[in-house]
């Protein structure tokens, strides 16, 4: 009677050692193969070196994946910051299209006399006096937004710019797929922004508001200087 030789699943044993980090003794218990045979096979095929190489590559891939996720997150944040800066610049420029914008003031109007016998309401009136505080706030906002936009563009290397463009395209596709437009944004603003071409932030020359020199006609202070 011939005794059939048992076939040892060396491929599975090798895989368990390399990928699943099982020891030789664990493999002996699991597959019923002697430690000597496993040791000889492992030495011949360099299992120890293969396992070290496998785990090093796995660790490297994990690090790369984490870095990619971090890069995507940073790209998304920079896209939002860039869009916010562009929106502020567009808003500031649209405000400047109205020459009377800073001559309109909110005034409290009271009618009637006596305790509890009067009525108060706020109305908008136009005066010769320029609201220099609003001018100063607008100048500061425009300067900050333009600086932010230029900074974002300046710190990006070519590879980062490409990733940023890819993420921007993904975001635009996602917005279109979700049916998100600009209607809600336009309806929610207090000041109606007229349609205008996309500003070139890099070409914008910032105006400087001189708050100490009266300019612009009788009764007006403050002027955009070029």
How does strand 224-225 pair with strand 208-209?
antiparallel
C-alpha–C-alpha distance, residues 204 and 157, integer Å = 22
C-alpha–C-alpha distance, residues 171 and 166, integer Å = 9
Phi, psi of 115 (to 5 degrees): -70, 120
C-alpha–C-alpha distance, residues 21 and 122, integer Å = 76
Q: What is the pLDDT of residues 144-171, one digit of tens each?
A: 887 777 777 666 555 566 666 776 777 6
Q: What is the pLDDT of residues 64-98, one digit of tens each?
A: 888 778 777 777 777 777 788 888 888 777 777 77
Give percent of the chain with pLDDT exceeding 70: 55
Q: What is the pTM of this model?
A: 0.36
C-alpha–C-alpha distance, residues 28 and 45, integer Å = 17
C-alpha–C-alpha distance, residues 5 and 7, integer Å = 6
């Amino acid at each position: 009677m011939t005794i059939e030789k048992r076939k040892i699943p060396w491929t599975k044993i090798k895989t368990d050692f390399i990928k699943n980090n099982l020891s030789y003794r664990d493999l002996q218990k699991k597959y019923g193969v002697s430690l000597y045979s496993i040791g000889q096979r492992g030495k011949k095929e360099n299992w120890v070196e293969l396992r070290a190489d496998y785990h090093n590559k796995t660790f490297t891939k994990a690090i790369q994946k984490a870095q990619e996720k971090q890069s995507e997150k940073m790209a998304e944040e920079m896209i939002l910051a860039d869009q916010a800066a562009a929106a502020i610049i567009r808003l500031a420029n649209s405000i400047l299209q109205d020459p009377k914008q800073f001559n309109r003031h909110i005034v409290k109007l009271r009618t009637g006399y006596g305790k509890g016998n009067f009525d108060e309401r706020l109305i908008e009136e136009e005066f010769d006096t320029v609201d220099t505080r609003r001018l100063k706030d607008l100048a500061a906002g425009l300067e900050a937004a333009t600086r932010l936009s230029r900074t974002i563009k300046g710190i990006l290397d070519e590879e980062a710019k490409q990733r940023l463009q890819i993420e921007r395209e993904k975001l635009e596709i996602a917005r279109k797929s979700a049916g998100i437009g600009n209607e809600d944004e336009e309806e929610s603003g207090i000041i109606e922004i007229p349609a205008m071409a996309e500003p070139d932030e890099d070409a914008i020359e910032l105006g400087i508001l001189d708050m100490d020199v009266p300019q612009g006609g009788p009764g007006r202070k403050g002027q955009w200087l070029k």
